[in-house]
Amino acid sequence: MKIFPTQIETYLNCPRKYHFGRDPELRKKYFKSSPHLVLGNAVHDALQYFFDITKVKIPDRTYETLCNLLRDAWGGRGLFARNSWKQKRAREEAFGDDRETEKAWGQKGLNILYRFFNTQDISAVPLTAEQFHELRLTDGVILGGKVDRIDRLEDGSLVVIDYKTGKPPRQKDQEEIAEKDLQLAAYALLVARKFRGKVSRCSYLYLNDELEVGYEPDDDLLSRKEAQLTEICTRIVKAWDDDDFPATPNPLCGWCDFREICSEGQEYQKQRDAAVGAQSDLPF
């Protein structure tokens, strides 16, 4: 079984949601794109090609090139023409025929790239960008993940970067993030094993806020994270054997694609909405 870091996070949040998300039919029926997804995917795609010297030569790395890559990725055209049908559907789901809203989100993407272009090292040549990496965690379980970007520093060590287009966490304490985080640790583990090198830093780069949040994963931390990931993946395998995926209603139910088919999530959200409504303080 192949398990991705994002699936691990989903499982820990709600096993039922993880289970629903693994069913292709349910995914097809209930999973809907959103403005934020369209934006996030287009920004990732644009940055991937921008740093790929087989697609864009270093002297051609201008802000205009980056904007055009975003537009092409967004519209599924040019270098991204193979995605045209996928993008058409995603845009329809996210924006319908509301061109003004789509324009506002597209502008948000251009603004993100403007900040990126003016604050980051544009001449960098990453070791890999948006590539899948895999690691056999335990018997029958492969940990897989797409790593946004891996840079190799002059001292030979590796830096793992995960781009984020959403809001940064309130908590930015490096030690606490290192303790709680699993996603970055999973990427760092994949990279350290695959390239047999030292990962000197792994971080989330919050593009909208020009903020880098991360930590330096030493061998001891990576070993602890590997044990933790292995334990969770073993639990997931057992859950499949036992067909045991309980619903665990939580504040994210409001955004869950599968709430329509989840009575527990519906009940939780109903109570939550009622509580919020009862507390609303009107100024008139």
Residue 1 or 252: which CB sits closer to ligand SF4? 252
- 262 touches ligand SF4 (CB under 6 A): yes
> How many residues at the interface with ligand SF4, by CB under 6 A?
15
Three-class secondary structure of residue 131 per DSSP: strand
Q: If residue 100 lies in a helix (H) or strand (E), which one and from where to where? A: helix 99-119
Min separation Cβ 12 and ligand SF4, Å: 12
Q: What does 204-264 look like in DSSP terms, one character per residue?
A: EEETTTTEEEEE---HHHHHHHHHHHHHHHHHHHHHHHHT-------GGGGG-TTGGG-HH
- 258 touches ligand SF4 (CB under 6 A): yes
Among 4, 183, 264, 272, the residue binding ligand SF4 under the rule CB under 6 A is: 264
Which of 202, 222, 226 has its CA nearest to residue 214?
Answer: 202
Min separation Cβ 209 and ligand SF4, Å: 27
Per the CB < 8 A criterion, the answer to whether 177 and 217 are in contact is no
- 259 touches ligand SF4 (CB under 6 A): yes
- 178 touches ligand SF4 (CB under 6 A): no
Min separation Cβ 186 and ligand SF4, Å: 21
- Span near ligand SF4 by CB under 6 A; candidates 28-36, 117-125, 171-179, 254-262: 254-262
- 149 touches ligand SF4 (CB under 6 A): no
8-state DSSP, 31: -
Min separation Cβ 32 and ligand SF4, Å: 14
Residues 13-52 that bind ligand SF4 (CB under 6 A): 14, 16-17, 20
Q: Give CA–CA dist 173/178, Å, rounded.
A: 9
Q: Which residues contact 201 (CB under 8 A, 6 or more apart)?
A: 159, 160, 214, 215, 216, 217
Residue 104 or 252: which CB sits closer to ligand SF4? 252
Q: Give CA–CA dist 125/58, Å, rounded.
A: 9
The 228-247 site mask, x for binding ligand SF4 (CB under 6 A), equals -------------------x
Chain center to CA of 102: 21
Min separation Cβ 280 and ligand SF4, Å: 23
Q: Give CA–CA dist 264/250, Å, rounded.
A: 10
Distances, alpha carbon 217 to alpha carbons 3, 50, 108, 233, in Å: 21, 28, 33, 21
- Span near ligand SF4 by CB under 6 A; candidates 170-178, 188-196, 212-220, 252-260: 252-260
Residue that has been written with the tokens 């190799």 in this structure:
152
| Structure tokens that stand for 189 in this block | 């583990």
Residue 5 or 249: which CB sits closer to ligand SF4? 249
Per the CB < 8 A criterion, the answer to whether 66 and 117 are in contact is yes
Residue 11 or 74: which CB sits closer to ligand SF4? 11
Residues 122-141 that bind ligand SF4 (CB under 6 A): none
Binding site for ligand SF4 (CB under 6 A): 14, 16-17, 20, 247-249, 252-253, 256, 258-259, 262, 264-265
